[in-house]
């Protein structure tokens, strides 16, 4: 009888720990069958139209990726790379790594002078900052396995947008104006994104050379980018600007299918990206570290939760800096980092009444024999297939180099390597040997495209841009839904904060801290730095009635379109 009573208690406790889907009134766009959420209304519209034509989630994702390269050039791209995580209607999952690679001529000390000091901003601006692009190969690879509509159908919307032009939003005009001087500085010719007078919202941006490049990709597939005229234009640009990407680099580049990382949080399955993304490992560490705490009772953005989340984040980012890198070059201890006992031991020193200084936190004792401007989009099709893609040029407009005659920008992903061990990159992230530069190596990333489901099916499709803040923004969005019972738009709108071990301060959005909470956290030993916006989460939530709620981040032009 005692055994039966104990079993009953355990069943009840387990049921209580498994959060149900929120029953709050949805605030976002509702779709009965399908949903597309991306950083730009025109790109979301392209994806929605592809779905209405009978395309699946992968078709729509490919079309959105190319459309963003036209209408959202600050981060949308064909000259960058990214990651895709997806879930098929039957619950099977997968992921594709189309992250950029270091060129064959790259080497560990390529950004250091004779004294071993970092050479200015060469890993950030100009031709030498670019990794070998992966986006086009990634889309071709996804299409080869999952595409259903004709390839040309998926490319034509972006071709038309580039050739005929589109209307700039205020945000789009501001971004172009912000980078004007750097466009002029690093390019060897007049770039079409630069004009005499500042860009204004409502003006048309026409990109005829980009349109021709997209036509070559439409007609020749992978060879429309990595061979032929486009490849020749890339190499010509490298020669003009003393870059090191070669024909061989382009020919040898291929995306990689990877098994996604899978973990569990309060009865939900979490599916995320494995290395060379640090996002999946870090997200599962964060969720594993906090699961034993009564997050809902502590309250959203109240001092106990903010203190606890910050202390967990410090430890996770310390591990990230030490142990994560490209698994094709370095044995990444994923299983150990996600081991339940390791996480328990790792978090055991957290003091709920006092902040642990970052200088006192080292990497965990693992037995071992790592962009602000990225973009993410989430898609669910009428059959229930889901795709989450995060893609990037790294910085705003990447390295600012445009390929003459081809009309597209290159990334500056080389800065995501550890240019020098212990020296922070542009996001303040520290790296070590695991993420040092090597030919054909993929640089560590924070991109965290993620899908959440449970025994009843799909629950959340989520991701965000934000460089080092990507991981914590996805973490908070998931907690907002599962622990705090928010709908998707409410979870996306909620104010965010971030800690990454070093430097030792909490980044906070405006108005995230009440006076009472700030005073309490300062007494615990925390310092703060104000940040206008953190992340731009674009996500989808399956509601209890099976409808889809799109959460489009109001911090930008992000748009959800459902039907």
Burial class of residue 333 in the structure, from the number of CB atoms within 10 Å of its CB (0-12 exposed, 13-18 middle, 19+ buried):
buried
Radius of gyration over every alpha carbon of the chain, rounded to an integer in angstroms: 23
pLDDT at 363: 63
Query: What's phi and psi for 207, nearest 5 deg?
Result: -130, 75
pLDDT at 42: 98
Question: Which tops the pLDDT comparison, 3 or 268?
Answer: 268
Q: Kindly state the average pLDDT of the residues 403-420.
A: 93
529: pLDDT strictly greater than 90? yes
- Residue ranges per structural domain of the chain: 34-255+374-417, 258-371+446-562
Question: Quick one: pLDDT band at residue 321, thresholds 50, 70, 90?
Answer: confident
426: pLDDT strictly greater than 80? no
| Residue-wise pLDDT tens digits, 166-189 | 999 999 999 999 999 999 999 989
Measured in residues, the chain has a length of: 563
377: pLDDT strictly greater than 80? yes
Q: Which of 538, 496, 384 is nearest to 68 (CA)?
A: 538
Question: Quick one: pLDDT band at residue 248, thresholds 50, 70, 90?
Answer: very high
Q: Which of 514, 483, 124, 457 is nearest to 297 (CA)?
A: 483
DSSP string, 355-423: PPPGGG------------EEEEEEEE-TT--EEEEEEEEESTTTTS-B-TTT--BPP-GGGGSBSSTT-
Question: Quick one: pLDDT band at residue 421, thresholds 50, 70, 90?
Answer: low
Strand pairing report for 457-462 and 261-265: unpaired
Question: Which tops the pLDDT comparison, 396 or 450?
Answer: 450
Question: Quick one: pLDDT band at residue 418, thresholds 50, 70, 90?
Answer: confident
Residue 33 has a CB neighbour count (10 Å cut-off) of: 16
Strand blocks (E) in 80-237: 81-87, 93-98, 166-167, 204-205
HSE toward the beta carbon, residue 399, CA cutoff 13 A: 30
Question: Quick one: pLDDT band at residue 5, thresholds 50, 70, 90?
Answer: very low
**Residue 452 belongs to what H/E stretch?**
strand 450-454
CA 41 to chain centre: 19
Residue 313 has a CB neighbour count (10 Å cut-off) of: 24
Q: Kindly state the average pLDDT of the residues 457-486.
A: 97
Question: Quick one: pLDDT band at residue 7, thresholds 50, 70, 90?
Answer: very low
pLDDT at 102: 98
Burial class of residue 547 in the structure, from the number of CB atoms within 10 Å of its CB (0-12 exposed, 13-18 middle, 19+ buried):
middle
4: pLDDT strictly greater than 50? no
Q: Which residues are catalytic?
A: 374
Q: Does domain 258-371+446-562 have CATH number 3.60.20.40?
A: yes
Q: Are 131 and 244 in contact (CB under 8 A)?
A: no
pLDDT at 361: 87
Q: Kindly state the average pLDDT of the residues 64-82.
A: 98
Q: Is 134 helix (H, G, I), strand (E, B) or coil?
A: coil
15: pLDDT strictly greater than 80? no
Question: Quick one: pLDDT band at residue 419, thresholds 50, 70, 90?
Answer: confident
pLDDT at 25: 80
pTM over 0.85: yes
431: pLDDT strictly greater than 70? no
Question: Which tops the pLDDT comparison, 451 or 360?
Answer: 451
Question: Quick one: pLDDT band at residue 401, thresholds 50, 70, 90?
Answer: very high
Mean of pLDDT over the chain? 92
């Amino acid at each position: 009888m005692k055994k039966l009573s104990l079993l009953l208690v355990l069943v009840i406790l387990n049921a209580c720990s498994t959060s149900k889907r929120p029953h709050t009134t949805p605030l976002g766009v509702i779709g009965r069958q399908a949903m597309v959420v991306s950083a730009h209304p025109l790109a979301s519209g392209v994806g929605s139209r592809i779905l209405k034509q009978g395309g699946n989630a992968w078709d729509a994702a490919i079309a959105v990726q190319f459309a963003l390269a036209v209408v959202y050039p600050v981060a949308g791209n064909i000259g960058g790379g990214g990651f895709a995580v997806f879930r098929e209607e039957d619950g099977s999952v997968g992921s594709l790594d189309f992250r950029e690679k270091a060129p064959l001529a790259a080497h560990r000390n390529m950004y250091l002078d004779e004294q071993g000091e970092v050479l200015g901003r060469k890993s950030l601006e100009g031709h030498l900052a670019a990794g070998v692009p992966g986006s086009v190969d990634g889309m071709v690879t996804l299409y080869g396995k999952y595409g259903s509509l004709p390839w040309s159908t998926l490319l034509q919307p972006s071709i038309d947008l580039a050739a005929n032009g589109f209307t700039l939003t205020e945000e789009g005009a501001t971004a172009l104006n912000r980078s004007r001087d750097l466009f002029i500085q690093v390019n060897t010719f007049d770039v079409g994104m630069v004009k005499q007078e500042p860009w204004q919202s409502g003006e048309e941006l026409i990109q005829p050379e980009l349109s021709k490049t997209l036509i070559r990709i439409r007609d020749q597939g992978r060879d429309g980018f990595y061979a032929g005229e486009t490849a020749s234009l890339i190499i010509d640009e490298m020669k003009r600007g003393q870059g090191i990407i070669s024909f061989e680099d382009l020919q040898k580049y291929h995306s990689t299918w990877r098994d996604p990382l899978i973990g569990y949080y309060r009865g939900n399955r979490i599916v995320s990206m494995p290395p060379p993304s640090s996002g999946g490992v870090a997200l599962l560490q964060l969720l594993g570290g906090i699961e034993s705490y009564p997050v809902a009772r502590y309250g959203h953005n109240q001092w106990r939760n903010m203190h606890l989340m910050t202390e967990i984040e410090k430890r996770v980012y310390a591990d990230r800096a030490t142990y994560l890198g490209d698994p094709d070059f370095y044995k990444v201890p994923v299983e150990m980092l996600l081991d339940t006992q390791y996480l328990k031991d790792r978090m055991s020193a957290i003091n709920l009444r006092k902040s642990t200084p970052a200088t006192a936190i080292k990497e965990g004792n693992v037995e071992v024999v790592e962009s602000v401007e990225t973009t993410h989009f989430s898609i669910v099709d009428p059959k229930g297939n889901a795709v989450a893609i995060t893609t990037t040029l790294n910085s705003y407009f990447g390295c600012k180099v445009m390929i003459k005659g081809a009309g597209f920008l290159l990334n500056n992903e080389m800065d995501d390597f550890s240019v020098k061990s212990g020296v922070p990159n542009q996001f303040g992230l520290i790296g070590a040997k695991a993420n040092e530069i090597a030919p054909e190596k993929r640089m560590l990333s924070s991109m965290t495209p993620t899908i959440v489901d449970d025994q009843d099916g799909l629950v959340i499709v989520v991701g965000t841009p934000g460089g080092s803040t990507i991981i914590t923004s996805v973490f908070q969005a998931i907690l907002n839904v599962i622990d705090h019972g928010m709908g998707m738009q409410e979870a996306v709108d909620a104010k965010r904060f971030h800690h990454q071990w070093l430097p030792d301060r909490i980044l906070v959005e405006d108005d995230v801290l009440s006076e009472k909470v700030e005073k309490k956290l300062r007494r615990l030993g925390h310092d703060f730095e104000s940040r206008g916006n953190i992340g731009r989460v674009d996500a989808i939530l399956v509601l209890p009635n099976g409808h889809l709620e799109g959460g489009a981040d109001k911090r930008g032009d992000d748009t959800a379109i459902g039907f």
